[in-house]
């Protein structure tokens, strides 16, 4: 089975704007953490949207685990690649934490007991048990961040994209998040992390992609 996300000679230009990528290629592997850095406007978010199929390259091809995004629905890509937004409240919509975790699977007809068991596991891993009946938008920022990641993992993706995951988190919560990411790496989930936090980058990086030209470190 193919365990890579491939961007093969892609080009992309903003509508009525400058070209961001020109004959750009990149391989992202399961079990490997790539940190994406660069100034605002360098194309970081654009790159993640190209991977997720939200944007389409004008030339070249994006393949997710052997399948071209051109032939996949956004939902199909989302089941393989989980995307955690910089602002987690943008992806929280349910009336309680436990509903946030279980709704997508129950909506698809998954077994209720198995879904609840998986949700309880996520509540424990992400230290959300005490707030499981709380309204998600009333949570602290750190709790929202952990819930957003947990809800994405409920779907069972093979790869995660995290946009500025340490934003507005104190050191204690960053350490807690790092422990969770370490656990995910141990079960071979690959990650692309957009970050400017130097300590966080040093802890998690396998490689760093700096979008400014484009070059590798």
Does the structure show a pLDDT above 80 at 213?
A: no
pLDDT at residue 35 greater than cutoff 90: yes
Domain ranges of the chain: 4-216
pLDDT value at 216 more than 60:
no
Mean pLDDT in residue range 97-101: 96
Mean pLDDT of the chain: 89
Say which CATH superfamily domain 4-216 falls into.
P-loop containing nucleotide triphosphate hydrolases (3.40.50.300)
Which pairing describes strands 159-163 and 190-194: parallel, antiparallel, or unpaired? parallel
pLDDT over 70, % of the chain = 97
């Amino acid at each position: 089975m193919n365990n890579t996300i491939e961007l093969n000679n892609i080009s992309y230009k903003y509508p009525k704007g400058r070209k961001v990528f020109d004959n750009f290629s990149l391989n992202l592997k399961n079990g490997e953490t790539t940190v994406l850095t660069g100034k605002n406007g360098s194309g970081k978010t654009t790159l993640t949207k190209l991977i997720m199929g939200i944007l389409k390259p004008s030339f070249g091809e994006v393949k997710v685990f052997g399948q071209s995004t051109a032939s996949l629905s956004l939902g199909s890509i989302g089941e393989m690649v989980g995307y955690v937004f910089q602002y987690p409240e943008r992806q929280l919509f349910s009336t309680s934490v436990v509903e946030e975790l279980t709704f997508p699977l129950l909506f698809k007809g998954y077994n209720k007991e198995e879904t609840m068991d998986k949700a309880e596991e996520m509540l424990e891993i992400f230290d959300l048990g005490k707030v499981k009946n709380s309204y998600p938008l009333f949570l602290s920022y750190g709790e929202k961040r952990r819930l957003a990641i947990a809800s994405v993992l409920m779907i069972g993706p093979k790869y995660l994209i995290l946009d500025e995951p340490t934003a507005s988190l104190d050191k204690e919560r960053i350490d807690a998040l790092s422990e969770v990411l370490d656990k995910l790496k141990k079960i071979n989930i690959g990650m692309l992390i957009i970050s400017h936090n130097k300590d966080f980058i040093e802890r998690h990086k396998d490689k760093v992609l700096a979008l400014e030209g484009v070059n590798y470190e």
